[in-house]
């Protein structure tokens, strides 16, 4: 299929300098007025729009108002909106932090959908704010159309927030220009446990300057503070422009709550007055559900993060949740572990859905890597691998069960994509190198951060026979985005051959590593 320099032919960016587009991209004030203080005038959608979990015939549109309002969405096949279709959305108010979602159904497959969101005064529907515009492409039924997407994670972490001198979250503008079908965010969408200061002195003596809001001056504990952390990121122009063009598939990891958390944990961190992590996690989960368009989560936080998104005959994306159901972090040496990081119910779901999948490629979107040893303190393990290269122990037992199921079920085309470790890697897993041998070879690709501190590479665990084919990481901890080491990955699936090309990219566009995978083969 013909492509332009950034993506598919005819998929034009929607925000190109018109008066409406300029209004949609107006930078919010750095400390938005509370809705109760903004009763005059018309509702304002200054935080932009998002679309999530797009299918062949549907999409879920998100918006936030600055006061109570009725959400209205209009869609059109063209940018002119000469014959728009209108969708009546919910009344938004303080119960959801003035966020709202509207499901668009019955859309044509493989089509560019232009939409605009209007916010109307609940007492006078004729009084509407400035429309906010966006566009997305529904999933195509035709294999020949191919698929392109990008993935990464880790945003505004380790003290590195929105720096206007650096171009803000500029990596999103670069990813937008790649014109992907969607963006897979592999977690750490916020750093609720990472307060920001207005300035940080860099090793060369220069200054990193952060935009700071009241909610970002301390760790998030209350529901309003978690909401403020999610709202902070939407101050960034590049991110809002990206959301207006690129649908998202979003998962969470630890920093949406706090570093390395697990259910049942009781904190000793003096920064927190609320020590019960389950209480913090419930508040964070509600804010997460309010601020992202995820069809399996309700705005009250009920539902689940794990789900499968089907992207036509070429691709299914299996989104995992390695936080909600995990057991406590430990040295990971137990000989029996049925809960692991996934929990028994999620593991059964994943095995069942992988067996049902008929897609050529089955991307397992994991918020943490399999083979990298991620510590939690001096003795405990945060991820799966625990540093013992022998037979599976602890959380590795659950992974071994899954890999065995994939092999014996003759499930082809599984590829693992992840982030979390703030460096970029390509790992090939092969039973010939492994202590556990009952699995078929596969690849894992690691990306990130988007705008956070970069860290040295951690060690690989040999249990599943990983080989590091590529790595790029700094040699010291918490390298700022001003010094580079900000990464994202790009996946292209060719509609004719079915080949998957994975590229690891760095902020600035440079391709660091490329791997072409052929469909139906193992041991590549």
Whether the predicted model's global pTM rises above the 0.95 cut? no
Give the per-residue pLDDT at 291. 98
Buried b (16+ CB within 10 A) or exposed e, 293-308: bbbebebebeeebbbb
- DSSP helix, strand, coil percent of the chain (3-state; round to 5): 20, 30, 55
Nearest to 330 by CA among 340, 338, 343, 342: 340
What integer best gives the mean pLDDT of the chain?
92
Looking at residue 241, the DSSP 8-state letter turns out to be H
End-to-end CA distance of the chain: 26
Instruction: Summarize pLDDT for 168-193 with one digit per residue, the tens.
Output: 999 999 999 999 999 999 999 999 99
Give the per-residue pLDDT at 521. 73
Rounded to whole angstroms, the Cα distance separating 299 from 315 reads 28
Mean pLDDT calculated for residue range 186-201: 98
Please compute, for residue 462, the number of CA atoms within 13 A of its CA located in the half-sphere on the CB side.
7
Give the per-residue pLDDT at 40. 56
User: Of all residues in the chain, what percent carry a pLDDT higher than 90?
Assistant: 90
Which DSSP string do the residues of 379-420 spell out, in sequence order? TEESSS--S--SS--TTHHHHHHHHHHHHHTT---EEEEE--
Q: Residue 19: pLDDT above 50?
A: no
> Helices 277-291 and 223-233, interaxial angle, to 10°?
40
Instruction: Summarize pLDDT for 202-216 with one digit per residue, the tens.
Output: 999 999 999 999 999
Mean pLDDT calculated for residue range 494-509: 96
Query: In which band, very low, low, confident or very high, does the pLDDT at 523 lie, cut at 50, 70 and 90?
Result: low
Nearest to 293 by CA among 344, 205, 230, 343: 230
């Amino acid at each position: 299929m013909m492509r332009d320099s950034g993506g598919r032919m005819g998929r034009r960016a929607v925000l190109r300098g018109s008066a409406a587009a300029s209004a949609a991209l107006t930078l919010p004030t750095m400390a938005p007025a509370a809705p109760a203080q903004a009763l005059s005038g018309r509702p304002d959608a200054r935080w932009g729009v998002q679309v999530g979990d797009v299918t062949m015939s549907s999409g879920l549109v998100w918006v936030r108002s600055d006061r109570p309002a009725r959400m209205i969405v209009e869609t059109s096949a063209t940018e002119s909106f000469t014959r728009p279709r209108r969708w009546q959305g919910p009344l938004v108010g303080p119960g959801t932090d003035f966020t709202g979602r509207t499901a668009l159904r019955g859309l044509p497959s493989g089509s560019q959908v232009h939409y605009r969101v209007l916010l109307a005064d609940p007492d006078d529907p004729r009084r509407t704010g400035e429309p906010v515009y966006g566009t997305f492409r529904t999933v195509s039924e035709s294999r020949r159309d191919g698929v392109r997407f990008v993935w990464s994670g880790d945003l505004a972490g380790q003290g590195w927030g929105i720096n206007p001198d650096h171009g803000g979250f500029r990596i999103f503008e670069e990813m937008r220009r790649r014109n992907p079908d969607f963006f897979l965010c592999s977690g750490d969408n916020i750093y609720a446990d990472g307060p920001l200061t207005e300035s940080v002195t860099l090793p060369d003596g220069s200054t990193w300057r952060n935009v700071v809001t009241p909610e970002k001056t301390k760790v998030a504990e209350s529901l309003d503070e978690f909401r403020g952390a999610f709202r902070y990121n939407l101050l960034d122009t590049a991110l809002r422009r990206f959301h207006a063009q690129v649908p998202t598939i979003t998962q969470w990891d630890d920093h949406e709550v706090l570093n390395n958390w697990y259910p049942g944990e009781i904190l000793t961190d003096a920064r927190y007055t609320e020590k019960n992590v389950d209480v913090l996690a419930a508040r964070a989960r509600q804010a997460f559900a309010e601020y992202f368009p995820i069809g399996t989560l309700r705005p009250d936080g009920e539902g689940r993060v794990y789900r499968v998104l089907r992207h036509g005959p070429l691709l299914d994306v299996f989104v995992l949740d390695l936080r909600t159901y995990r057991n406590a972090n430990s040295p990971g040496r137990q000989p029996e572990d049925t809960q692991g990081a996934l929990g028994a119910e999620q593991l059964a779901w994943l095995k069942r859905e992988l067996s049902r999948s008929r897609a050529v490629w089955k991307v397992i979107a994991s918020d943490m890597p399999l083979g990298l040893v991620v510590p939690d303190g001096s003795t405990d393990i945060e991820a799966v691998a625990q540093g013992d290269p022998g037979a599976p122990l602890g959380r590795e037992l659950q992974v071994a069960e899954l890999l065995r199921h994939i092999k014996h079920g003759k499930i082809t085309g599984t590829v693992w994509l992840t982030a979390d470790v703030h460096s970029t890697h390509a790992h090939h897993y092969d039973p010939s190198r492994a202590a556990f041998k009952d699995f078929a070879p596969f690849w894992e690709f690691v990306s990130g951060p988007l705008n956070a501190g970069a860290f040295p590479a951690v060690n690989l665990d040999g249990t599943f026979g990983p080989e590091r084919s590529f790595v790029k990481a700094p040699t010291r901890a918490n390298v700022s985005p001003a010094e580079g080491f900000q990464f994202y990955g790009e996946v292209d699936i060719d509609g004719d051959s079915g080949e998957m090309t994975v590229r690891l990219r760095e902020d600035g566009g440079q391709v660091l590593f490329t791997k072409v995978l052929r469909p139906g083969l193992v041991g590549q």
